[in-house]
Amino acid sequence: MKFFATLLSLALVLSGTAEAHSHVNRHYRRVGPSATFSKPSAPTTTAAPPPKPTSTGTTIKRGVSYNQAQLTENFSGSKVSWAYNWASAPGGELPKDLEFIPMLWGGGDNSNWVNDATAAIASGSTHLLGMNEPDLGAQSNLSPAAAAALWKQFMEPFAGKAKLCSPAITNGAAPMGEAWLDDFLSACDGCTIDCIAFHIYDSATNVAYFKNYITDIGTKYGKPTWMTEFGASGSTQDQQTFLNEMLPFLDNLTTVERYAYFMAGQDILVDNSGNLLPLGQTYNTAS
């Protein structure tokens, strides 16, 4: 998809504004207020019960992202093993066979991070996720240097206690995406980066682009990859076809350690009551 990337870059050069920058890279799914993840407000001390203990070392790669824990209730089959909510604590009870994975979303108030991450690890969380789309103005919006400083303060102390996944980059054109990640990896000297996290959005009919991008990022960084968001635009039928093609591909590609289709909410995988929609049924059961 070099052609598309070139067009994006050209648009950036022509417009020359930071606003245009985040605008052109906003993906189909991310348009509109409900699709933009602001950092959840810090949970109160009485908020969420701790995640239930889960088994470690799952070989099931498939997971779900959510904002409301109850919407994960119907994902508890043999094909989905983990969940995350862009936050440090689960914010409710998850099905007992879903492993909760905490995320250090970005800058701001991280006063609960150490306690939440420690509790999650004690309950069986095997990994911690770094910042969410730091290369996107509408998301955690961090320079590589700022992200490295946050990493050293909040992530690095957990090295060896859990596997640490890099900030999750978008598939935007440079200086976003891999260019941002390369700068971060240079800036974060002495940092323990066990896995590479990334997101990718494109048309459901563009399976070849997804496959190439996902394969290339695994090869380039030589570490297990976590595709913590991916999304395909198009009709439900197009997305069904997409998932039926992509799920076996992802399960088979050894560089991919975990992945999560966007998302358990917004009438994508489940409706507002948590009922599995057709895409969710595919996601919950497809081999």
Ligand X SMILES: *[C@@H]1O[C@H](CO)[C@@H](O)[C@H](O)[C@H]1NC(C)=O
Q: Which residues bind ligand X (CB under 6 A)?
A: 70, 73-74, 248-249, 252, 273-275
Nearer to ligand X, 104 or 276 (CB): 276
Smaller CB distance to ligand X: residue 17 or 219?
219
* Cβ–Cβ under 8 Å, residues 187 and 158: no
DSSP 135-194: TSTTTT---HHHHHHHIIIIIGGGBTTBEEEPPBB-SPPTTSHHHHHHHHHHHSTT----
Least Å from the CB of residue 275 to ligand X: 4
Smallest distance, ligand X to C-beta of residue 79, A = 15
Which position has the token pair 């088979």? 252
β-strands 127-129, 196-203: how paired?
unpaired
Q: How many helices (H) and strands (E) does the chain have?
A: 8, 8
Question: Which C-beta is closer to ligand X: that of 73 or that of 135?
Answer: 73
Residue (117 or 279) nearer to ligand X, CB: 279
Work out how close the CB of 247 gets to ligand X at its nearest, in angstroms, rounded to a whole number: 9
Shortest distance in whole angstroms from residue 248 CB to ligand X: 4
Pair of tokens at residue 19:
């606003």
Find the residue with minimal CB distance to ligand X.
274
Displacement of CA 126 from its chain's centroid (Å): 16
Side by side, the strands of the sheet bearing 99-100 are: 99-100, 82-84, 62-65, 256-261, 225-233, 196-203
Which of residues 205 and 275 has its CB atom nearest to ligand X in the complex? 275
Q: What is the DSSP letter of 218?
A: H
Tell me the closest approach of the beta carbon of residue 249 to ligand X, in angstroms: 4
Q: Minimum distance from CB of 165 to ligand X (Å)? A: 23
Closer to ligand X by CB, 115 or 275: give it: 275
Helices 278-285 & 236-252, crossing angle to 10 degrees?
A: 10
d(CA 243, CA 230): 11
Q: Cβ 123 to ligand X, closest distance in Å? A: 21
Report the residue number, 191 or 277, with the smaller CB distance to ligand X: 277
